[in-house]
Amino acid sequence: MATTTRRAWLRPPQLRTLDDQGERHATWLELFFDLVFVISIAEVVHTLEDYRSLGDFLGTAGLFVAVWWAWVGYTVYADRFDTDDLLHRVLVLAGMLAVIAMALSVHDALHGGAARFALTFVAVRGIVLLLNARARRHAAAARPLLNLYLTAFSIGASLWLVSVFVPEPARYVLWGVALVIELSAPWVGRHQIAKAPIHASHLVERFGLFTLIVLGESVISVAQGAADVDWTAATVAAAIGGFVAVACLWWLYFDRIDDGAIRSVLQGLTWNYAHLPLLAGLVSVAVGTEYAVIEAADGELQRSTALALGAGTALYLLATVVTGLAVRRTTDRVRWPALAAAALALAIGLAWPLELPLGLLLVLDLMLVVLVIVESAGRLRAAPAPGTEPL
């Protein structure tokens, strides 16, 4: 009886993706886990709102990489090994507490709070290490890959911990080195990934859900900008323009998320990593839309706001092209309209007259709406006629 109870509560993690490649969706625990990253993304956006120099922007981009990578660590582990037993739930819930602490440390990480951010990130990574060490013990097929991951993650966490005792700016250099080591591990171990593959459809859904979280922050930014100013014709028009831009970005991503399929390890890695600039572009757009609404009341944009909107949109569009190429069929064409729109968006951010804030939003909206129409029409033309789908 005791043995049966123990087995019911504690089930060793097994490599689920070798034999189970059918339909699979996010678990309730995974969805609950994502909630703490709502806080993390919000804190990244708020940091960019308060610190808007080029150095702050680049530094915050680095913090965003760390936040995104923390989410990827838990998500990819759950994709392969999620057993949902008692120990797994306890560790994931502990990880959520660590992520909340990390999120609350983001705002001042580059302004006097670096040590606290480093320690909370170590806590986040430490729980991922425990999860992977447990899987290594029980899932022999994944052991070569997990040996690499555990080594890389341990070195990375050690560098983050050492950075607490190192003065700035060397501390930030250690953070960058640690992230490079960890981010390179899947590419170094790409041959071992074939023996411990991802569950492609599940991971596509998980990345889509995270993208929704960041898109949600963009919608909140539009509302926040409108809440901080008097409602005039200019500010209402700017808020509507900001929402239209975000809606188009949603359309361009989710209308194509099920196109093609991940057929190789290289495709999967390319698709996964292309989401980093895609999400960073969305964060930039979120900040830009909020300030565009606020500055529309004054009748003049700051160049940083124009760049956040234009360059963020360009980065997002370029990343969607890369994700599309990663899963494209040989008959698919390169998305030249999206590339042209990315170039135009960047030019707008760099050169648009700052005394025309509504004009910038109008031109961006017009460009994105046209791109949505062009891409939607192209997908309809490429779709097989009714009754001609292959069996």
Tell me the pLDDT tens digit for each residue of 311-329. Answer: 999 999 999 999 888 777 5
What pLDDT, on the 0 to 100 scale, is given for residue 316?
96
Residue 89 has pLDDT above 70, yes or no: yes
CA separation, residue 15 to residues 79, 89, 127, 346 (Å): 9, 17, 19, 44
Hey, CA dihedral for 75, 96, 214, 291, is it positive or negative? negative
Dump pLDDT digits (tens) for 173-198.
999 999 999 999 999 988 888 888 88
What are the structural domain ranges in the chain? 25-193, 200-379
Mean local confidence (pLDDT), 188-216: 87
Ramachandran sector of residue 112 (left: φ over 0; alpha: ψ -120 to 50; beta: rest): left
Residue 2 has pLDDT above 60, yes or no: no
What pLDDT, on the 0 to 100 scale, is given for residue 382?
65
Would you say how long the chain is, in residues? 391
Ramachandran sector of residue 71 (left: φ over 0; alpha: ψ -120 to 50; beta: rest): alpha
Instruction: Report d(CA 76, CA 99) in Å as an integer.
Output: 16
Q: Which residue has the higher pLDDT, 55 or 360?
A: 360
Residues 6+ apart with CB under 8 A from 247: none
User: In the structure, what pLDDT confidence band is assigned to residue 172 with cuts at 50, 70 and 90?
Assistant: very high
Side-chain half-sphere CA neighbours of 379 within 13 A: 16
Q: Tell me how crowded residue 365 is: count the other CB atoms within 10 A of its CB.
A: 18
User: In the structure, what pLDDT confidence band is assigned to residue 233 with cuts at 50, 70 and 90?
Assistant: confident
Q: Which two tokens mark 187?
A: 């590419």
Contact yes or no for 65/306 (Cβ under 8 A): no
End-to-end CA distance of the chain, in Å? 51
Instruction: Report d(CA 327, CA 256) in Å as an integer.
Output: 10
Q: What percent of the chain has pLDDT over 90?
A: 49
Mean local confidence (pLDDT), 338-358: 92
User: In the structure, what pLDDT confidence band is assigned to residue 1 with cuts at 50, 70 and 90?
Assistant: very low
What pLDDT, on the 0 to 100 scale, is given for residue 385?
52
Q: Which two tokens mark 355?
A: 């005394």
Q: Which two tokens mark 316?
A: 């997002």
- Residue position matching structure tokens 């929704």: 212
Instruction: Report d(CA 269, CA 318) in Å as an integer.
Output: 17
Instruction: Report d(CA 230, CA 216) in Å as an integer.
Output: 23
User: In the structure, what pLDDT confidence band is assigned to residue 150 with cuts at 50, 70 and 90?
Assistant: very high
Amino acid identity of 100?
A: I
Hey, CA dihedral for 309, 313, 314, 316, is it positive or negative? positive
Contact yes or no for 121/104 (Cβ under 8 A): no
Q: What is the mean pLDDT of the chain?
A: 87
What pLDDT, on the 0 to 100 scale, is given for residue 224?
85
Name the H helices within the chain. 2-9, 28-50, 54-81, 86-106, 114-138, 143-163, 170-188, 190-193, 200-227, 233-254, 265-296, 303-327, 336-351, 357-382
Instruction: Report d(CA 365, CA 379) in Å as an integer.
Output: 21
Instruction: Report d(CA 109, CA 105) in Å as an integer.
Output: 6
Mean local confidence (pLDDT), 148-165: 95
User: In the structure, what pLDDT confidence band is assigned to residue 230 with cuts at 50, 70 and 90?
Assistant: confident
What pLDDT, on the 0 to 100 scale, is given for residue 234?
86
Amino acid identity of 50?
A: D
Contact yes or no for 192/144 (Cβ under 8 A): yes
